[in-house]
Amino acid sequence: MKPAQAKPESIFSSANEPSAISNDSNTESVSNVSLSDAASSSLAPEASASRGLSRRRFILGLGAFAGAQSLLAPILPSGMISSAFAQTNSPSTIVGKSAGLVVLNDRPINAETPAHMLDDKITKAENMFVRNNGIPPSEIDPQTWVLTIEGESAKQRKQYSLADLKEKFTHHSYQLTLECGGNGRAEFSPGAKGNQWTTGAVACPKWTGVRLADVLKDVGIKDDAVYIGYYGKDTHISGDPSKEAISRGVPISKALEEENLIAWAMNDADIPLMNGHPLRLVIGGWPASTSGKWLERIVIRDQVHDGAKMAAPAYRVPCEPVAPGSKVADEDMCIIHAMPVKSLITFPKSGENHKQSEAFAVRGHAWAGDKSVKQVQISIDFGQTWQQAKVEKPVNRNAWQQWQSEVQFPSKGYFEVWAKATDNEGVSQPMILPGWNPKGYLNNACHRVAVQVV
Ligand SMILES: Nc1nc2c(c(=O)[nH]1)N[C@H]1C(S)=C(S)[C@@H](COP(=O)(O)O)O[C@H]1N2
Ligand SMILES: [Mo]
């Protein structure tokens, strides 16, 4: 395989050249690695190919890493710069996923998307991040897949095959933004344990399925319903069958909103295996941990759902702000609801050279949980002055919005482009890290990219 090469036109080395590992190989060979701190590994046999996805194996191979240090990275705070060069992790190949994704953990598999690979309005399936809490199911047969709905506040227990869902209910498609609650965690200081996401645990593909509300209503919801919870077919990382990897949910009021889907397709094709094939819950705008993958069961609860990772401190933040480094008692931690306003600069890639004589086009996405984005502003002087970007309307509620702008640099030299979004209630992104919290959730600080003007 060919080693990654630093791009000559870039002032940064590229650590993310795709490696030449085949996704369709039947062997578990792993490429040579020149990176000292990354161990090559492949997944255990029980996690290998599902029936629905032919012979493909979950090969996790590490690509080569150029190793050269970027010129500017050391003076940029990590986490605020393009994840493409903020990471020292090696690129990798996960079945169905671009080699450019950056792997943060290989058991369970967690991989994020460099900002420039999120440039599409509709995120490509192979570019969507992967966040697994446990071991994905190894046997998936869409023909025999069954979804069960039950719980104290369900009027009955009812089961649906995939064919039942497709026949019985109206199909809907929405673009829905899924962002991990821990996206941006890498920037917290003191640091928080967990995957060190920089900016890439977010995606907004088009999902197709049936409305969660339609299915819940078909079963019947009792008046005392408070919450829903999901269960997926993945298994606990320990291998203990009595434990769930994750089982979260949302209040019944959120669950009944029309954009929430029980989805079988992403971008008009099967959902990628790692993103929950053959069926997943999609709850846009809330922490993506509420969007259960490999969906087998939904419970309608008469209390706040108490599945795995619902209890503190998981996916909770201090109910009242705390000083950095504080210890917070479990009872003082509150469940995260909608995600806060945020934006991403997806073009150009951080670290490009740009001719001063030419206008500099910059663009990206912005999203605001259950709200919408009314404004995006750009600064090239560290936030001293701002100019308005053009912001498009969302295609539907809970979908990210596109923005674009042109910048004229006043001189040659080193610049940073910052983007700041404001939601429809006037709440903007902070320029620096917002409220420290023990688990490193909800970092919606401004994204910025470096430009060398020549
Ligand atoms: N069954 C199941 N559903 C799950 C998870 C999981 O590990 N198992 N991870 C959750 C978390 S924490 C996130 S951020 C999203 C990630 O979705 P993705 O892997 O499709 O990007 O899925 C959520 N749903
Ligand atoms: Mo997550």
Query: What's the mean pLDDT in 386-393?
Result: 98
Flag the least confident range among 58-62, 69-73, 343-347.
58-62
273, pLDDT greater than 80:
yes
Residue 90: the pLDDT is: 57
Residue 89: the pLDDT is: 53
Of all ligands present, the nearest one to the C-alpha of 129 is 1
Residue 170: the pLDDT is: 98
CA 147 → CA 142, 161, 231, 264, 285, distances in Å? Answer: 11, 6, 10, 12, 24
Residue 221: the pLDDT is: 98
Query: What's the mean pLDDT in 232-239?
Result: 95
Q: Which residues of 222-255 are buried (b: 16+ CB within 10 A; e: fewer)?
A: eeebbbbbbbbbbbbeeeeeeebbbbbbbbbebb
Cβ atoms of residues 453 and 409 within 8 Å: yes
Angle at 142 between CA 256 and CA 220, to 5 degrees: 30
Residue 31: the pLDDT is: 30
Flag the least confident range among 34-48, 65-79, 97-111, 137-151.
34-48
> What is the pLDDT confidence band of residue 93, given thresholds at 50, 70 and 90?
confident
Say if ligand 1 is within 6 A of residue 232 CB.
yes
Query: What's the mean pLDDT in 439-453?
Result: 97
Show Cβ contacts of residue 410 under 8 Å, excluding neighbours closer than 6 positions.
none
Show Cβ contacts of residue 188 under 8 Å, excluding neighbours closer than 6 positions.
433, 436, 437, 440, 443
Q: 237: which 2 tokens?
A: 């990382």
Query: What is the distance in A from the centroid of ligand 1 to the CA of 288?
Result: 6
Share of the chain above pLDDT 90, in %: 78
Query: What is the distance in A from the centroid of ligand 2 to the CA of 290?
Result: 8
Angle at 72 between CA 70 and CA 74, to 5 degrees: 85
Query: What is the distance in A from the centroid of ligand 1 to the CA of 310?
Result: 14
Give all domains of the chain, ordered by start, each with its CATH number.
146-335 (3.90.420.10), 342-453 (2.60.40.650)
Flag the least confident range among 93-107, 197-211, 302-316.
93-107
Residue 77: the pLDDT is: 40
Say if ligand 1 is within 6 A of residue 281 CB.
no
Show Cβ contacts of residue 171 under 8 Å, excluding neighbours closer than 6 positions.
208, 209, 210
6, pLDDT greater than 70:
no
E-strand stretches of 195-315: 202-203, 206-211, 227-232, 249-251, 261-266, 269-270, 280-282, 295-301
> What is the pLDDT confidence band of residue 179, given thresholds at 50, 70 and 90?
very high
Residue 286: the pLDDT is: 98
Distance, CA of 190 to CA of 183 (rounded, Å): 16
Query: What's the mean pLDDT in 346-375?
Result: 97
Of all ligands present, the nearest one to the C-alpha of 230 is 1
Nearest alpha carbon, ligand 1 atom 22: 289
353, pLDDT greater than 60:
yes
Mean pLDDT, the chain, whole residue set: 84
The per-residue DSSP string of 203-217 comes to E--EEEEEEHHHHHH
Query: What's the mean pLDDT in 273-285?
Result: 98
Query: What's the mean pLDDT in 353-368?
Result: 97
What pTM did the predictor assign? 0.83
11, pLDDT greater than 60:
no
At residue 368, the 3 state secondary structure works out as strand
Query: What's the mean pLDDT in 13-41?
Result: 27
Share of the chain above pLDDT 70, in %: 80
Query: What's the mean pLDDT in 360-385?
Result: 98
Say if ligand 1 is within 6 A of residue 197 CB.
no
Say if ligand 1 is within 6 A of residue 378 CB.
no
307, pLDDT greater than 50:
yes
Show Cβ contacts of residue 216 under 8 Å, excluding neighbours closer than 6 positions.
149, 228, 255, 256, 298, 300
Please compute, for residue 399, the number of CA atoms within 13 A of its CA located in the half-sphere on the CB side: 18
Query: What's the mean pLDDT in 65-71?
Result: 33
> What is the pLDDT confidence band of residue 445, given thresholds at 50, 70 and 90?
very high
Say if ligand 1 is within 6 A of residue 271 CB.
no
Query: What is the distance in A from the centroid of ligand 2 to the CA of 250?
Result: 14
Q: Residue 397, Cβ neighbours under 10 Å: how many? A: 16
Nearest alpha carbon, ligand 1 atom 20: 275
- In terms of DSSP H, where are the helices of 10-81? none
Question: Whats the size of the chain, residue-wise?
Answer: 454
Instruction: Compute the 3-state secondary structure of the chain and give helix, strand, coil in percent, each to the nearest 5.
Output: 10, 30, 60
Distance, CA of 343 to CA of 124 (rounded, Å): 18
Residue 92: the pLDDT is: 55
> What is the pLDDT confidence band of residue 408, given thresholds at 50, 70 and 90?
very high
Query: What is the distance in A from the centroid of ligand 1 to the CA of 10?
Result: 35
Query: What's the mean pLDDT in 129-136?
Result: 96
Say if ligand 1 is within 6 A of residue 295 CB.
no
348, pLDDT greater than 60:
yes
Say if ligand 1 is within 6 A of residue 363 CB.
no
Say if ligand 1 is within 6 A of residue 272 CB.
no
